[in-house]
Amino acid sequence: SAQLNPNSDYVEAIRRTFAVSILRFIKPWLWSDFTFYKSSLGRLLQKRLHILHGFTDSVIKERKTEILDKIKDYENTFDSIGDAIDAAMDSIGTKRRLVFLDILINYHLKHSDHMSERDVRSHVDTFMFGGHDTTASSLMFTLMLIGQHMDIQSRIHQELNEIFSDDMDRDITVDDLRKMKFLDQCIRESLRLYPPIQIIGRQIEKSFQLKSGYHIPKGSTCYIPLICLHRDPHYFPKPDEFDPTRYDSDCTANRHPYANIPFSAGPRNCIGQKFAILEEKAFLAQMFRKYSIESLVDWDDTKKVDFGLGGISLTDERSDAVYFSQSHIITGVTFLTRKPKPRLILTLIIKPFDDYVWTWIAVSFIVIIGTIYVFKYIDIDLKFNSSAIKWAVVSAALRQQCDVVIPYKLRQN
């Protein structure tokens, strides 16, 4: 029902959970778990998480019961429970056809000491949260960039015409998606310029020292601003330009593998990154094999993001709304935002401290006393524009709730 009803309790809970997380991020007095969970925001988050976890638990329980019933049918046939589980899963579908939840439950049943039912829920929640807003945001940027570069769009049309030369109206297959090499490059270049997640964090497990001389203590949290990493001219010449050829094989061969990590990297990377790329390719292929899109306003005239030294300074220069159209409309505009422009300009500064404990205690005391009044006006703004604050704090690129105009012209091919 969540797919058919955008106002369902589950969808609303996801939206509120995102908003509460951002509000906590910009209010230092809520960084402490004790203070946060005693506040109204903390209680609201717990209520929303109860809805989210309740829905996920019910889905897992229902599916697990179905699989256990299947396993019972095979217990008398096989000597080991592992073989019975394999037979039951084979009856549901081969591993290549198993859905994500079935794969998790299968592993949980075989290795319950390594993956509990709560772990299954965490993975499902991660998959749902990660794909709720990020894919839509990435698609919006990709469409905007392709609509501003008609030469690149022509290459996309040429590639799709070759793939679907037999029938432009037939269904898209997985083999078709694998052949869309240039479209894949366009998506990855869009993710480089405008990653849906702009900052990732990691907890430091071992103290070390940077080449610059900064000492990073064990237990601290390191934040990586992807928007800055992806625009480093050392790895990407002319970093502000949209150039999908950066992902030609000869260009990527000598590039550091972590120079572009829109899905993060390492064991804690995005579990849905392959699905996200395939999903975007399917959507864009379906659209561009029938339509052409043209942006009517240059990006430079619409929004500017200033990357200041010592942090990320985000400035809002326009007060209009984002425009885009559903694919079935030939020409026109449709609102994607319902929020007014953000009136708050924030600077996020990331600086490691050698003696971080006492520095934190001293700074916290000053911040709690002083910023209660400084941040008081934020509450007035947040009542009307919490999603805009999310943009102002952690986004160095547009999201669906941002205040930018992207009018376009959509033509049928």
**Is the distance from CB of 272 to CB of 133 less than 8 angstroms?**
no
State the pLDDT at residue 253.
86
- Residue 323 amino acid letter: Y
Does 62 fall in a domain? yes
What is the full DSSP assignment across 298-362? -GGGT---B--TTSEE---------EE--TT-SS--EE---SPPP----EE-----TTHHHHHHH
* pLDDT, greater one: 15 or 30: 30
CA distance 257 to 354: 30
Q: CB pairs under 8 A, 24+ apart, for 4-9?
A: 9/51
State the pLDDT at residue 240.
85
Find the range with the poorest average confidence among 3-17, 207-221, 307-321: 307-321
CA distance 121 to 157: 41
Element housing 191 (H / E) = helix 181-193
CA distance 303 to 316: 7
Query: Which domain, by its residues, includes 100?
Result: 1-132
Strands 208-209, 199-203: pairing kind? unpaired
Does 65 fall in a domain? yes
Does 276 fall in a domain? no
CA distance 298 to 145: 10
Is 402 labelled a binding residue? no
Q: Which two tokens stand for residue 274?
A: 């392959």
Q: What is the mean pLDDT of residues 369-396?
A: 40
State the pLDDT at residue 320.
31
Return mean pLDDT, the chain: 71
Element housing 108 (H / E) = helix 100-110
State the pLDDT at residue 342.
30
Q: How far is CA 80 from the centre of its chain?
A: 41
State the pLDDT at residue 188.
96
State the pLDDT at residue 160.
95
Backbone φ and ψ of 114, nearest 5°: -100, -30
State the pLDDT at residue 395.
36
State the pLDDT at residue 314.
31
pLDDT tier at 2, thresholds 50, 70, 90 = low
**Is the distance from CB of 350 to CB of 225 less than 8 angstroms?**
yes
State the pLDDT at residue 260.
92
pLDDT tier at 106, thresholds 50, 70, 90 = confident
Does 92 fall in a domain? yes
State the pLDDT at residue 32.
84
Q: What is the mean pLDDT of residues 193-200?
A: 84
* pLDDT, greater one: 250 or 368: 250
pLDDT tier at 413, thresholds 50, 70, 90 = low
* pLDDT, greater one: 310 or 128: 128
State the pLDDT at residue 336.
28
**Structural domains in the chain (count):** 1
List CB contacts of 381: < 8 A, sequence separation 6 or more.
342, 343, 344, 388, 389
* pLDDT, greater one: 123 or 242: 242
Q: What is the mean pLDDT of residues 213-219?
A: 82
3-class SS at 259?
coil
pLDDT tier at 363, thresholds 50, 70, 90 = low
Does 11 fall in a domain? yes
Element housing 61 (H / E) = helix 40-74
Does 268 fall in a domain? no
Strands 291-295, 221-225: pairing kind? unpaired
Q: What is the mean pLDDT of residues 165-185?
A: 93
Find the range with the poorest average confidence among 21-30, 66-75, 115-124, 324-333: 324-333
Q: Which residues pair with 410 in a beta bridge?
A: 293
Does 248 fall in a domain? no
Q: Which two tokens stand for residue 261?
A: 């990590």
Q: How far is CA 83 from the centre of its chain?
A: 38
CB atoms within 10 A of CB 158: 11
- Residue 387 amino acid letter: S
Find the range with the poorest average confidence among 65-74, 226-235, 392-401: 392-401
Q: Which of 106, 101, 102, 137 is nearest to 122 (CA)?
A: 101
- Residue 62 amino acid letter: E
Q: What share of the chain is helix, strand, coil (3-state, %, to 5)?
A: 55, 10, 40
Find the range with the poorest average confidence among 103-107, 113-117, 331-335, 352-356: 331-335
Backbone φ and ψ of 116, nearest 5°: -85, 175
State the pLDDT at residue 109.
82
State the pLDDT at residue 81.
61
Does 358 fall in a domain? no
Kindly report, residue by residue over 72-89, the tens digit of the pLDDT. Answer: 766 666 666 666 666 666
State the pLDDT at residue 366.
61
CA distance 190 to 146: 9
Kindly report, residue by residue over 222-272, the tens digit of the pLDDT. Answer: 878 888 889 889 899 998 889 999 999 888 888 988 899 999 888 778 878
Which one-letter DSSP state was computed for residue 296? Answer: S
